[in-house]
Structure 1
Amino acid sequence: MVLGALGRPVPPIHEIRRGVQAAGGYVEAPEGIRGLIYAGAVTWLAGQGIPARILLDQSAQDVAQLVEGQASLFIASVHPGIRRPETSPTARGGHLVLVFGRDAAGALRLHNPSGDSPGTQADARIPIVRFQDFFAGRGILVG
């Protein structure tokens, strides 16, 4: 998502996964690959010439300020239920989305490739207060 958002060519997803895994971003366990390890992802991004850093203890309002004017991107850890923002999540985190800006009404704009409909995948919109319900308070600031 980050590469495409930055206007760069996007290699096949498994090529990216192998590169991120080699940088320590994924660890294989007997049951499969564990979730993204941020430090390894930041290392891989740096290798692509993309500055990034891990941010913890953030609020949805913090994220909104970070992406204001679309100067930065934020890979946010959210509950996968964000695909249906009208629902109440049972937890926070466990899924990643790319927050890339705000719309005229102030809602966060995000890409969620695993959304279950076009409206929840590319350029999905969610009010900041609803985003907070799904957001784990951590992620990767890109740019």
Structure 2
Amino acid sequence: MVLGALGRPVPPIHQVRRGVQAAGGYVETPEGIRGLIYAGAVTWLAGQGIPARILLEQSAQDVARLVEAPARLFIASVHPGIRRPETPPPARGGHLVLVFGLDAAGALRLHNPSGDSPATQADARLPVAQFQDFFAGRGILVG
């Protein structure tokens, strides 16, 4: 998602996964691949010439301020229930979305490729306060 959002060519997803895994971004266990390890993802992004850093203890309002700047993206840890934002989540985190800006009303704009409808996948919009319900307070600032 980051490469495409930055206007770069997007290689096949498994090629990206292998690169991120080689940089320590994924660990394979007997049960399968463990979730994204931020430090490895940041290392892989740096290898692509893309500056990135891990941010912890952030609020949704912090994310809104961060993505106001042009060419700044935020890979956010959210509850997967963000696919149906009308239903409050039982927890926060465990799923990643790419926050890439604000709309005219101040809602966060995000890409969630695993959304269950077009409205929850590409350029989904969510008010900052509602995003906070799903947001784990951590992620990767890109740019």
Task: State TM-score, norm by structure 1.
Answer: 0.99
Which secondary structure state, in structure 2, belongs to the residue aligned with residue 119 of structure 1? helix
Where structure 1 has 5 or more consecutive residues not aligned to the other structure, the ranges are none
How far does residue 70 in structure 1 lie from its aligned partner after superposition? 3.5
Q: Give 1:105's aligned residue.
A: 105
Q: Give 1:43's aligned residue.
A: 43
How far does residue 69 in structure 1 lie from its aligned partner after superposition? 4.0
1:43-96 residue CA offsets vs partner (Å, 9 max, x unmatched): 000000000000000000000000014431000000000001100101000000
Which secondary structure state, in structure 2, belongs to the residue aligned with residue 67 of structure 1? helix
Q: Give 2:84's aligned residue.
A: 84
Query: Where do 4+ consecutive residues of structure 1 move more than 4 Å?
Result: none
Q: Give 1:140's aligned residue.
A: 140
Q: Distance in 2 between matches of 1:62 and 1:85?
A: 20
Map 1:1-143; keep pairs closer than 5 Å.
1-143=1-143
Task: State TM-score, norm by structure 2.
Answer: 0.99
Is the CA contact 1:70–1:100 (under 8 Å) kept in the aligned structure 2? no
1:15-58 residue CA offsets vs partner (Å, 9 max, x unmatched): 00000000000000110000000000000000000000000000
Report the RMSD for the aligned CA atoms in angstroms. 0.6
Is the CA contact 2:6–2:71 (under 8 Å) kept in the aligned structure 1? no
Q: What amino acid maps onto 1:126 in structure 2?
A: L
Structure 1 pair 85/37, CA: closer, same or farther in 2 (3 Å)?
same
